[in-house]
Amino acid sequence: MNNAEAIELIDAHLDRQPLTDEQSDALTAWITENPRQADEAFYRIFLHSYLRTRLQAGLLPATSEFSIQDDSHFHLPAMLESTSSTIDRPSLPVLRRPSSWIKNRIVITTSLFFGILGGLGWWGFHGLLNFGSQSDQLYAYEGFDYPGTVFPESHGQSAWPTSGGLQGLNKGIGWSQPWQETNSKVAVIADYSQPAMPWLEKDMRKFGPLGYTDSLGNVLQSSGNQMRTATSPRSITTRLLNIAAFPGSMRSEHGLGLDGSVIWLSFLAQSSLSTADNNRYSYLMIGTKETSGLRIGKLGATPSGNWTAAALQTGAEVNLRSSPFPSGEMVFFVARIIFRPGPEEATVWINPRLDTEPQVEQASMRLPVPDFRFDGVAIHANHSSDFDELRIGGTFQSIAPVTEPRKYGR
């Protein structure tokens, strides 16, 4: 059996075509013949696995100016040249979408919609029907509009505080308690009108406070100062929500997230560095690490350091999805969680347009989250990152409010 035949059989196997005993034996012999062939086999299996994970998570990334199609001429690697063919690479940008492609996208979108409805069952459908009547209310908001933190002096130099910070700060709406600091250092309020600590060379936060303008020029409502997490070793900053302020259709005795409800969450974030070397993390969490929940932000488990989302299950991060956005860049996160019997469905958009509710196909990350409820938010970090404009609501519009257009000119 040559390499190409072996790879074809692996494809057939992973496309759910049963192999004959003879084919299985030949393939096994090829895989076990030497480590290089075993590696080739596993790379191919990994490709299937990655495509499945990637397409289930957020569909394919947008096309670039180059393309791979199945009627052009991209040469196969040597191991595959014996099979058949040439593959797919037109020399010109391919931006056209043939009608059959569009038709198939509609089929996919429609099946996704009905898949969601089917998965939700009656409660989910009920929740969606209630969607409009739940109003555009924002149920919780924190703009971190507090005075900037004054850094203590130590041996004539400013030192990162180990107490104070956000502890006891109590503005915003929809909260039942002030912020609590629960680790050895504390997060602080960053005030750009005050002299800053010296910036690291690559820290893009030095260019100004967090804010977001979409591709059409719509500006997210934001004001005042912002939260900045601690570094070395870490800060953990938590706050409980006033669950009674949320509609009855969203809450149960265990917290927010009654099956059938849809909860939207948004916030701005930016890290001091894009890499996640040395297990750097800074994320917002709802739910609990011990049982189940959702983390959105920068996770040590994503070595690229790109913005990421992960579900939590009994202490472990599962169903991790990474975005193409480096964490050193300011982003506007929008998350929608559909609570339903069994795992919840979380969809995360990064930097969506603000004028209309984003579509699932445009999501940066999609992931199932083990069944969970939540009653507050926690922001964990072991390196400096900024967070601002935290909103929780029942609709996209409620958590992505746009400012009135500014009048420029004289």
Partner 1 sequence: MASSLESGPDSKPPSVRDLSREDSRELLAVNWVKAQPSLTAFLIASTPQFSDAEDLLQEVAVEVARRFDDYDPSRPFLPWALWVAKIQVANFYRARQRNPVKFIGDSIDALGEACDRIQRTLSEEKWALEKCLTSLTGRSRTLLQLRYFDDLTPQEIGPRVGMTAGAVRIALFRTRSALMACVRSTLSGASGFHEQR
Site for partner 1 in 87-126 (CB under 8 A): 87-89, 94, 98, 100-101, 104-105, 107-108, 111-112
Give the Cβ contact number of residue 325 at 10 Å. 17
What whole-number distance in Å separates Cα of residue 247 and Cα of residue 255? 12
One-letter amino acid identity for 105?
R
Q: How far is the CB of 331 from partner 1 (least distance, A)?
A: 18
Binds partner 1 (CB under 8 A): choice among 1, 5, 53, 192: 53
Which secondary structure element, helix H or strand E, spans residue 297, and what is its range? strand 292-298
- Which 304-343 positions form the footprint of partner 1 (CB under 8 A)? 304, 310, 313-318, 320, 324
Considering the complex, state which of residue 252 and residue 304 has its C-beta at the smaller distance from partner 1: 304
- Alpha-carbon gap, residue 227 to 271, rounded angstroms: 12
The yes or no reply on residue 359 touching partner 1 (CB under 8 A) is: no
Subset of residues 69 to 88 that bind partner 1, contact rule: CB under 8 A: 69-71, 74-77, 80, 83-85, 87-88
Report, in Å, the least distance between residue 51 CB and partner 1.
Answer: 5
According to CB under 8 A, which one of 145, 162, 213, 289 is a site residue for partner 1?
289
Least CB distance to partner 1 at residue 346 (A): 16
409 near partner 1, rule: CB under 8 A: no
What amino acid occupies position 239?
R
Task: Identify residues 23-52 at the interface with partner 1 (CB under 8 A).
Answer: 23-25, 27-28, 31-32, 35, 38-39, 41-52
Give residue for tokens 């297990």: 279
Q: Are strands 306-313 and 292-298 parallel, antiparallel or unpaired?
A: antiparallel
Shortest reach from residue 388's CB to partner 1, in Å: 26
Q: Which two tokens stand for residue 364?
A: 């940066």
Cβ 320 to partner 1, closest distance in Å? 5
Q: Exactly one of 134, 226, 229, 302 binds partner 1 (CB under 8 A); which one?
A: 302
Q: Where are the beta strands (DSSP E) in 339-384?
A: 344-350, 365-369, 376-381
Contacts 24+ apart (CB under 8 A), 23-31: 26/1, 27/1, 29/1, 30/1, 30/3, 30/6, 31/6
| Number of chain residues interacting with partner 1 (CB under 8 A) | 88
Per CB under 8 A, contacts with partner 1 among 225-284 are: 279
Nearer residue to partner 1 within complex by CB, 38 or 159? 38
Near partner 1 in 138-167, by CB under 8 A: none
Token pair in block for residue 405: 């257009």
Q: Is 68 in the site for partner 1 (CB under 8 A)?
A: yes
Phi and psi, residue 199, nearest 5°: -85, 145
H or E stretch at 321: strand 316-326
One-letter amino acid of 381: A
**What backbone phi and psi angles, to 5 degrees, belong to 125?**
-65, -40
67 binds partner 1 (CB under 8 A): yes
Complex with partner 1: residue 42 or 131, whichever CB lies closer: 42
